Structure 1
């Protein structure tokens, strides 16, 4: 497609310029900067909760405590350490997790071997934590608590 000739282009009106829209310019930055006449109030003045001791205003002391963590039941343990009450030593502990290859890792290893990936590639499932079983034990007494299988 060829561009129009000079004669054809001169027959059409020129495109509108930004000056044709009558848009006012933005305000200057110096006009919006004003300094406050007084400083902002302090937190105690803003909240209004103060008391007077020996002629001085003091803030009340607020102590926030968190509730103690609630241990989960042993069958609800997943692949990460969990807070449980050990059924053997009756202590509330965070479990110690050991990751060992399970059925999923072995099945994937056999599948990769059957596909012809026998030059070490079939061993990859034994190195991926997401394919291994999580064995939970108590760090206090050392007893086995739960196995999370994939």
Structure 2
């Protein structure tokens, strides 16, 4: 035996709640009280004893972003350091990059696996150039060959 909640095929009636400052219509459910909001914690809060206590401090760290500007190349570049704001000429350090590993892999494929495949790691022309500030020693840019 089936029980029908709505014997007529009418859609169910939806209840509307009054907006703030309006009276509820007669015969409706009592409106719920709006939630009360309390002010959040401050830097210093007063204890029940009357003394003040310091709140917690949240420290977030920023990710390191290297500038990949097309004006960086294998030569030193005069610029203003974004970290220490001094006029500098960058110092260039070379490190193995994608072209270095690709060259070593190609040499291995062609049979130079006995040590000759390590030659690209000794050639600065196949490595990436990392520009650092001579004052604060932070990386200000990277020139990638690939």
TM-score after normalising by structure 2: 0.51
Q: Is the CA contact 1:99–1:133 (under 8 Å) kept in the aligned structure 2?
A: yes
Secondary structure of the 1:110 match is helix
Q: 2:84 aligns with which of 71, 81, 89?
A: 89
Aligned length: 78
- 1:111 Cα shift? 0.8
RMSD over aligned Cα atoms:
1.5
Higher-Rg structure is: 1
- Matched residue, 1:143: 138
1:39-92 Cα shifts (integer Å, max 9, x gaps): xxxxxxxxxxxxxxxxxxxxxxxxxxxxxxxxxx98212111110100111101
Distance 1:138 1:126 in 2: 24
Higher relative CO (Cα under 8 Å, sequence separation at least 6) belongs to 2
- 1:127 Cα shift? 0.8
Distance 2:119 2:113 in 1: 11
Q: 1:132 aligns with which of 119, 127, 133?
A: 127
TM-score after normalising by structure 1: 0.50
Q: Where do 5+ consecutive residues of structure 2 fail to align?
A: 1-66
Distance 1:149 1:110 in 2: 18
Secondary structure of the 2:75 match is coil
Ranges of 4+ aligned residues in structure 1 off by more than 4 Å: none
Higher helix share: 1
Secondary structure of the 1:146 match is strand
Q: Where do 5+ consecutive residues of structure 1 fail to align?
A: 1-72
